[in-house]
Amino acid sequence: MDVHEYQAKELLARYGVPVPRGGVVYSPEQATYRAKELGGSAWVVKAQVHAGGRGEAGGVRVCTGHREVSEVANALFGRRLVTKQSGPQGKLVHRLYVEEASSIARELYFGIVVDRSSERLMVIGSREGGVEIEELAESRPDALIRIVVEPAVGFLEFQARELAFALGIEPGLVPQAVHLFRAAYRAFRDLDAAMVEINPLAITTDDVTGHQGLVALDAKMSFDDNALFRHLEIAELRDRSQEDARESHAADRGLAYVGLDGDIGCMINGAGLAMATLDMIKLAGGQPANFLDIGGGASPERVLKAFRAVLHDDNVRAMLVNIFAGINRCDWVAQGIVDAFAAIDVRIPVVVRLAGTHVEEGRAIIAASGLPIQTAETLAEAAELVVAAAAMADTAQHDLVGSI
């Protein structure tokens, strides 16, 4: 689960990470009031959306007057911000963050992620902050500093010092950097985060005193969904308006679902089989509309929920049910499919391939139902059938639209 920048900053600040003063606003009037409340002569107005690349898309603006703050806020509210990470549909802006502007001397990068190859947490730093870290990792991997954290002891002080020196931080700021790095690590650990990113981590200069300090100018945090039951205060930060509606619908019903851009809906048990099924659909010339794993113990009720989740996507033209039953039972799945046709107005072609436990009973249930369901013996056959069915349905849809 992702949270907004202002929420990530509030969480990190609780652990001692310095952040600029600011506040979230929900109208241009509130934005102006917040700027006056903060004082100063310059402010940064930031669109709060779950997507990187906001600055290039016009979602981050520096303002030098209260009138400009109001005008920028008015232009951003209700806008669909399209960034490199949002997809072509963009993200709708419902809230803004107004914070005091900082005098930046240098920009660095700091992040903590779960490294699956080492099965450890990895702390990442770079002297080049304010850029897309994915692009930097691909074009210049040597620009990244990586420190693996041993889970038995955590992120130690000497590792934080090594990172500070590797980033070229001045000796006088090293103690502050060590405190910031370890504070971010404690937030990651205590809150069961999946990612913490401070980009840019800025070395700022006070215009009056000339004093320098470290400040998290931007922050991102994401959390392990499986651990949210331990952090109800984090779960309450969820912003459904920023999520894929299909994924939210499925997640609320306990289904593992990832929305894709195709037109063939998939209901499968097991992540490995699901990946293989998506590959077979692509090989047959089709485009999957989703990844949906109903799990190992799918009851008829769960199958019905999965049907509803797949059909929640209006782009689906045909559906493939691919079940290899071990813990599962094919007769349960077959009964769920029949129940789904009774409970839902299923108007798309459905292809079913069953194998494993109680497969004969499951096939008998589908055959006896009299429903317009195509069955297949193998995954390859099922993929060919569903791709052909989707193509026919798409042609029929175009003919219908053309006749209106």
154 is in an annotated binding site: no
Q: What is the pLDDT of residue 404?
A: 46
Q: Which of 395, 393, 396 is nearest to 372 (CA)?
A: 393
Q: What is the pLDDT of residues 139-189, one digit of tens each?
A: 888 889 999 999 899 999 999 999 999 999 999 999 999 999 999 999 999
269 is in an annotated binding site: yes
**Contact in structure between 100 and 64 (CB atoms under 8 Å):** no
Q: What is the pLDDT of residues 90-120, one digit of tens each?
A: 888 999 999 999 999 999 999 999 998 888 9
239 is in an annotated binding site: no
Q: What is the pLDDT of residues 365-395, one digit of tens each?
A: 999 999 999 999 999 999 999 999 999 876 6
Domains of the chain and any CATH numbers: 1-19+103-243 (3.30.470.20), 21-101 (3.30.1490.20), 245-403 (3.40.50.261)
Q: What is the pLDDT of residues 305-359, one digit of tens each?
A: 888 888 888 889 999 999 888 777 889 889 989 998 988 888 899 999 999 889 9
User: Crossing angle of helices 300-311/330-343, nearest 10°?
Assistant: 50
199 is in an annotated binding site: yes
315 is in an annotated binding site: no
Ramachandran region of residue 371, left (φ > 0), alpha (ψ -120 to 50) or beta?
beta
Does the pLDDT of residue 278 top 90, yes or no? yes
Beta bridge partners of 104: 204
What is the percentage of the chain residues whose pLDDT exceeds 70? 93
d(CA 178, CA 357): 57
> Does the pTM of the predicted model rise above 0.85?
no
55 is in an annotated binding site: yes
Residue positions annotated with a catalytic role: 109, 197
